[in-house]
């Protein structure tokens, strides 16, 4: 599935739609460089999940948590993670992912530790305010998107 957006607001809207479709156990892994729009997209996911619009970059915290009634969104930034040891030190393996949703920036750094059914989202900057967003979801959301 490929979407093109022309403003941060459009990216938030697209992400909101995806957020409303997510289920416990979903893992979102972003690919895309600095300023692509990963944190912006995550803000939309949180809104779509009913968790409010307060998402900010977890760069220094490594993970931010947005708690809902039934699910928490774990928003990771793996920019500084370069080994399995680093990853373990974040406590990554101890999170209850099966009951919640996770969104991981710089997922390239932990590629081999992501589950098989991870939803990959690639964000490419194709202009100052234009972004190409590719969602690899194994066809799961195609019907909802038309
Ligand atoms: P990342 O988390 O990938 O580093 P951010 O979401 O923090 O990226 O920042 C994206 C930047 O790009 C923001 O300053 C945002 O305003 C800007 N931007 C411009 N156009 C778009 C768009 N279409 N979608 C998302 N962000 C956009
Ligand atoms: Mg970010």
Pocket of ligand 1 (CB under 6 A): 5-8, 10-11, 32, 34-40, 57, 105, 129-131
Residue nearest to atom 21 of ligand 1 (CA): 8
| CA-proximal residue: ligand 1, atom 17 (nearest) | 8
Per-residue pLDDT tens for 96-133?
999 999 999 999 999 999 999 999 999 999 999 999 99
Helices (H), ranges, 60-105: 84-89
ipTM above 0.95, yes or no: yes
Please give the pLDDT value at position 100: 98
Residue whose pair of structure tokens reads 């909101």 in the numeric block: 16
The conformation of residue 109, written as its DSSP 8-state character, comes to G
Domain boundaries, the chain: 2-140
The residues, any chain, with a CB within 8 Å of residue 121's CB and separated by 6 or more, are 28, 29, 30, 31, 32, 38, 41, 133, 134, 135, 136
Q: Hey, whose CA ends up nearest to atom 5 of ligand 1?
A: 37
Which percentage of the chain shows pLDDT scores above 70? 100
Q: What is the fold of 2-140?
A: Rossmann fold (3.40.50)
């Amino acid at each position: 599935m490929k979407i093109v957006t022309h403003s941060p607001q459009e990216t938030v809207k697209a992400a909101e739609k995806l957020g409303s479709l997510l289920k416990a156990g979903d893992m979102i892994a972003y690919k895309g460089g600095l300023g692509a729009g990963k944190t912006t997209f995550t803000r939309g996911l949180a809104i779509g999940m009913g968790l409010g619009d307060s998402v900010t970059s977890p760069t220094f915290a490594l993970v931010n948590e947005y708690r809902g009634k039934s699910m928490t969104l774990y928003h990771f930034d793996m920019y500084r993670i370069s080994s399995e040891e680093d990853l373990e030190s974040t406590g990554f393996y101890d999170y209850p992912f099966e009951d919640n949703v996770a969104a991981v920036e710089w997922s390239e750094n932990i590629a081999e530790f992501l589950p098989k059914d991870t939803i990959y989202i690639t964000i490419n900057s194709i202009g100052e305010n234009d972004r190409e967003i590719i969602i690899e979801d194994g066809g799961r959301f195609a019907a909802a998107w038309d």
